Copies of this chain bind each other. A is one copy, B any other.
Amino acid sequence: MSPVHELPVRVYYEDTDAGGIVYHASYIRFAERGRTEMLRDTGFEHAQLFRDQGIAFAVVSMSINFKSPAKLDELLVVKTSITRLGGASMDMRQDIYRNDTLICEMKVTLVCVDKTLKAVRLPEAVRQLYG
């Protein structure tokens, strides 16, 4: 398993719904920010990888448990780690917390694809992240 990457995320009005809590699909947006910042910490970013190497990461599956509601103005933390590394794909665990309270937990499988959406080998920078 890779070290756990932590990204703080503030809840704004845009993330909430008329139920008075964070809209469930907002957590999927937060998780993507976490994955993106984990990648950026390796010195790479999506736009550059696509421009220079012609590759991108596609989400192929997710499973999510919504454990506790988060609310407006709360500060959450997205905790991301790589749990499996394949040739072209990898599994991540992404848990979102408010302090010690688990808000939601996700398992995400990503595959590295080229411009034709064909699976290609994960870049070395991502492999080294896994350790």
Contact = CB atoms under 8 A, between A and B. Distances in A.
Interface of A: 10, 12-14, 16-21, 23-25, 28-29, 32-33, 36-37, 40, 45-48, 56, 58-66, 69, 71-73, 117
Contact of A23 (B13, B63, B64): B13
Contact of A21 (B18, B64, B73): B18
Q: Report how many copies the assembly holds.
A: 4
A80 to B, nearest CB: 14
A13 B32 contact: yes
A98 to B, nearest CB: 13
A88 to B, nearest CB: 15
Most-contacted residue by chain B among A10, A18, A33 (CB, 10 A): A18
